[in-house]
Amino acid sequence: MTEQIEFKELNEQQREAVNCSQGNKLILAGAGSGKTKVLTCRVAKLIQEFDVKPSNILALTFTNKAANEMKQRIENLLHISSQGLWFGTFHGICRRFLKIHWKDAGISEFFSILDSQDQQRMIKRVIKNKNLDDKIYDPKALQSFINSQKDKGKRISDSSGKDDTYRDIFKDYEEVRKQTNSLDFADLILTTYETLKNKSELLNYYNKRFQHIMVDEFQDTNTLQFNLLKALNGDKGSLYAVGDDDQSIYAWRGARSKNIQLFKDEFSNVEIFKLEQNYRSTNKILDVANNLIKNNKKRLGKNLWTLSKKGEPVYLYQAYNNDEESEFIAEKINWFVRRGFKRSEIAILYRNNFLSRRLEVELNARKIPYRIFGGFRFFERAEIKDVIAYIRLAVNTSDNVAFERIINVPPRGIGEKTVDCIRRHSKSCSISLWESIQNLEELKITRSIDSIKSFTEIIKKISELTKTADLSSLIENTIKLSTLKSYYGNQKGEEALSKHENLEELMSHAESYENNNLDSDDLVRDFLDNASLEAGEYQSKTHEDPVQLMTIHSAKGLEFPIVFLTGLEEGIFPNERRNTEGDFLEEERRLCYVAITRAMKILFITHADGRYLHGSFQHLIPSRFISEIPDEMLQNVKSNSNLQSVPVSAPKKKYFFQVGQRVRHTKFGEGIIQRYEGARDDLKLHINFDNYGYKVLVLNYSNLEFL
């Protein structure tokens, strides 16, 4: 029955992976190679031909969607109920285990699960109870620290990497968590692992129970998940791990890409299969992807191919600036729509959130519906709305909405009780919230007085700037005075970095807005109104057939007939700010590979000679990822060209040095060239020195030795 239903549809590599003997198997499944079909057919094979009971199979995924899809397929294939199957996410399966074995785990039968916001609120409470400054001990940073320790299998007794205060907060957090009979997400897995390791009889039971363990997206597992799999698998287990080391892009949230490399060392008698036939993209797109990713050294290696037609060439567009880049993309979207494509079949991908801003402006101007997938429009992002709120209040002190938004942003020790006291006074006197804090004696507030005074001074300074400074200076100084820049700049992690970049993009936008509205009578108010209007433009609904905008991380697992991959310049992609993080370059290249393999039929790669960055226009050079693709695989296009034409662009400028080359300076020592800008006598090199960090040197005066 199964053979007739689905096995006949498998290609040779898939069939080998499905029909293999029992034991530990690693399936290297390339993008678009049909891994879900292989997993499903393997489960069916085990049940039908190896006489394995469904209850003896454990399947672990990273999303409920993937788990439910597998369950549904199994039900349809074998005509059995999925009720008895242990199919789910790591967290879901561990919750199920702990609900059964709560006594062995030493927890309450009726434990509750803390989501991310619940956990953060609990950490905030601990910080407050210890009378600590939450500007110094940021709740989000502490949350990240606690979760990262647990993801490594560490409790407070063996935690490391931060000061004693961090560990004290960690200790107090754990005490409060236990008192409230709660488990956070990381706890679900850690407590399960600890219970199995401490209860040998229980571990032996599950070693025998789960004769076969299936894992999807194995490249996304962290240290603790890897160790849990080892424990459950035991000495005579049969672990079937499906993953792609070339699509490991989540190191920043704990995923350990080397787990795939470790698989054959940590598990016995491992057999490796490769799924290389792609069912998504054209040959030409796959050739580009293969040639890019082969530059990574730490990979097991595979080469995607397809039986589909060669299709369109991969197009490369060089813009003068980000305005020209956005105009080109918008023009091409309309060109495709006129030829019968749906807008929802088109995706614009970018490395950094801030790059969406100029794209949004252009799409709005041309009335092209769009959606930000997995995120917010630029002017809807919290950090942007915060800056705007500071200026709104400075311009109009009666703006109570702006007041309430920023009175304690960033955290300055003004709690809800104090704000509620201000509200009551404002209402009783029929005055604005701002007017209420001008006479603190009437408020009868004993706490937060210094913080309120400090806030008042900030708004007054910004108010003065609105009268004297140009718009770009106003934005820049507001970000500094509010301490938003330093607040996000001092945080670590992908989210904080994205917020910091968005603030810098706002500065760039202000300068551009200023240059384009020279005839404005009241530039500041016009800017505020424009920001409100853009934030108020609700995202297009599905029925409006919107273009899809998203970061590459958000695009993982998705596919689109037409993809625009934007912003491929050194310093942006790969991102210069991540150059201190271990194997960052290989991860950035994997991220680019993921972006390319989202395209089914047509792929555009775009870059600009310059962009407004950090509040000023900067000259940029194409990403090294472009140079790693053979020239004959890319077709240069001009803005006004049809896709069938073969326009010629200027050859790439050659210099005697290269991005990525090591140099030596008499004072700063050795470093690596990250990018360069300018030309001739004004040529500047951006260099990350091993001991002195990031420096910008004028080539003619640098006295550099090129190694």
- Residue 390 has φ and ψ, to the nearest 5°, of -60, -45
Identify which of 184, 192, 181, 83 has the alpha carbon closest to the alpha carbon of residue 142. Answer: 184
Catalytic residue among 35, 177, 357, 590: 35
Catalytic residue among 42, 302, 381, 598: 598
- The structure tokens 């600590």 sit at 132
Q: In what order do the strands lie in the sheet with 212-215?
A: 86-89, 57-61, 212-215, 239-243, 25-29, 271-275
Catalytic residue among 6, 15, 22, 36: 36
Residue 548 annotated among the catalytic residues of the structure: no
Tally DSSP H helices, then E strands, for the chain. Answer: 30, 21
Contacts of 202 (CB under 8 A, 6+ apart): 101, 104, 195, 196
Identify which of 704, 538, 513 has the alpha carbon closest to the alpha carbon of residue 612. Answer: 513
Residue 539 annotated among the catalytic residues of the structure: no
Residue 119 annotated among the catalytic residues of the structure: no
Contacts of 608 (CB under 8 A, 6+ apart): 318, 319, 320, 321, 322, 324, 325, 567, 569, 620
- Residue 674 has φ and ψ, to the nearest 5°, of -90, -40
The kind and range of the H/E element at 64 are helix 64-78
- In three state form, how does the secondary structure of 385-399 look? HHHHHHHHHHHCCCC
Q: Are strands 669-677 and 662-665 parallel, antiparallel or unpaired?
A: antiparallel
Catalytic residue among 134, 184, 187, 216: 216
**Three-class DSSP category at 678:** coil
E strands within 257-390?
A: 271-275, 314-321, 346-350, 370-372
How far apart are alpha carbons 651 and 635 in whole angstroms?
Answer: 13
In angstroms, the Cα distances linking 677 to 270, 609, 696 are 50, 9, 10
Contact 57, 78 (CB under 8 A): no
How far apart are alpha carbons 307 and 309 in whole angstroms?
Answer: 7
Contacts of 520 (CB under 8 A, 6+ apart): 526
- The structure tokens 């709305």 sit at 385
Angle of the 471-481 helix axis to the 523-536 helix axis, nearest 10: 70
Residue 216 annotated among the catalytic residues of the structure: yes
Contact 321, 346 (CB under 8 A): no
How far apart are alpha carbons 311 and 667 in whole angstroms?
Answer: 53
Catalytic residue among 192, 247, 606, 618: 247
Residue 483 annotated among the catalytic residues of the structure: no
Contact 180, 114 (CB under 8 A): no
425-428, long-range: CB < 8 A, 24+ apart: 426/400
Residue 309 annotated among the catalytic residues of the structure: no
Contact 257, 44 (CB under 8 A): no
Cα dihedral sign, 523-525-528-533: negative
How far apart are alpha carbons 168 and 328 in whole angstroms?
Answer: 54
Cα dihedral sign, 396-400-406-407: positive
- The structure tokens 């490369």 sit at 316
Identify which of 659, 662, 578, 583 has the alpha carbon closest to the alpha carbon of residue 623. Answer: 659
Phi-psi sector, 98: left (phi>0), alpha (psi -120 to 50), beta: alpha
How far apart are alpha carbons 502 and 386 in whole angstroms?
Answer: 12
How far apart are alpha carbons 2 and 131 in whole angstroms?
Answer: 64
How far apart are alpha carbons 643 and 97 in whole angstroms?
Answer: 56
- The structure tokens 């980000």 sit at 322
Contact 246, 276 (CB under 8 A): no
Cα dihedral sign, 295-296-297-302: negative
- The structure tokens 């197009």 sit at 315
Catalytic machinery residues: 35-36, 216-217, 247, 598
